[in-house]
Amino acid sequence: MQVYSGTPHYRTRGCRNRMGEINGLVKGPVTRLFEKVARWIGLSSNAGPVLAALFLEQYGTAEKLSSEDVCRITGYSRANAGLIISQLEALGVIEGARDYDQTGRGRKRVLYSVNGSFTEVFELGVISIQDRLDGMTRDLDSIENLDSSFKPSIAHLLKEVRTAVENRREELQVTVSK
């Protein structure tokens, strides 16, 4: 007879293969893909394996992962995994909820899951680029409003930068509206 330990079904006896399967997928091409996704949304590539683990679990079994699970799958320390998890939470990419089914004393662990779809996470990258372009436009406006004698010497550069920023902004708007 197996006694319920507060551990979700896929982590109990007979179901450990699922965690090993995810651990295997978090290596290689899947990791490289999610490292690019992490950079796309403005995080370090170190967030890639964590994103991969959470997305694979979300789309595989719809179960949630604890920070200990993330550490085991990625090989990251608790401190590194915790930092990445907090960054992903701050961006709204993942959400955590206390595991009140967990038995025993002490603080209940937090289980994490992806908050939304891959498309929604990918849109964060688009928003990030839009924000950077807006920032560059504000900087250009500030430079052009300066009363300075050096402005004529860099007028061509400023025009070229503004044109590049505006072109990217238009391309981005066309891409988003498709």
- pLDDT over 70 at 7, yes or no: no
CATH topology (fold) of 9-115: Arc Repressor Mutant, subunit A (1.10.10)
- Across 47-68, average pLDDT: 91
Q: What is the mean pLDDT of residues 5-10?
A: 39
In tens, the pLDDT along 98-120 reads 988 877 788 888 999 999 888 88
Check if the beta carbon of residue 74 is closer than 8 Å to that of residue 83. no
pLDDT, greater one: 176 or 163: 163
- Residue 89: predicted pLDDT: 95
Longest Cα separation, the chain: 85
Query: Do residues 70 and 53 touch, judged by C-beta distance below 8 A?
Result: yes
- Tell whether the model's pLDDT for residue 124 goes beyond 60: yes
Q: How many CB atoms lie within 10 A of CB 162?
A: 16
Q: Which pair of structure tokens corresponds to residue 177?
A: 């509206």
**Which pLDDT belongs to residue 154?**
84
Q: What is the pTM of this model?
A: 0.69
Report the Cα–Cα distance between both ends of the chain, in Å, rounded.
56
Q: Would you list the domain boundaries of the chain?
A: 9-115, 122-177
